[in-house]
């Protein structure tokens, strides 16, 4: 065999090994379903801001008599 033929055979063999490994993801890298993407403190702050701003808007609308 010539050098280029050996090199080509080696590349084909490496490629075929890679094909058989595709899709085989170890469980350690897979995401767990029980973890949240944000922390509980950040989630609580977000809820506080949303509910607080809506309550503020309701109070402001009620005190102005419903007129913008």
Domain extents for the chain? Answer: 38-62
- For the stretch 37-61, pLDDT in tens is 888 899 999 999 999 999 999 999 9
User: Positive or negative, the Cα torsion across 44, 50, 55, 56?
Assistant: positive
Asked if the model's pLDDT at residue 32 lies above 70, the reply is no
Helix (H, G, I), strand (E, B), or coil: what is residue 68?
coil
Instruction: Return the pLDDT at 12.
Output: 86
pLDDT higher at 46 or 26: 46
């Amino acid at each position: 065999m010539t050098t280029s033929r050996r090199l080509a055979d080696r590349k084909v063999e490496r490629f075929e090994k890679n094909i058989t490994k595709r899709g085989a993801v170890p469980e350690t890298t897979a995401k767990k379903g029980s973890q949240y993407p944000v922390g509980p403190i950040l989630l609580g702050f977000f809820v506080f801001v949303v509910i607080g701003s809506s309550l503020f808007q309701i109070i402001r609308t009620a005190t102005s008599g419903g007129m913008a």
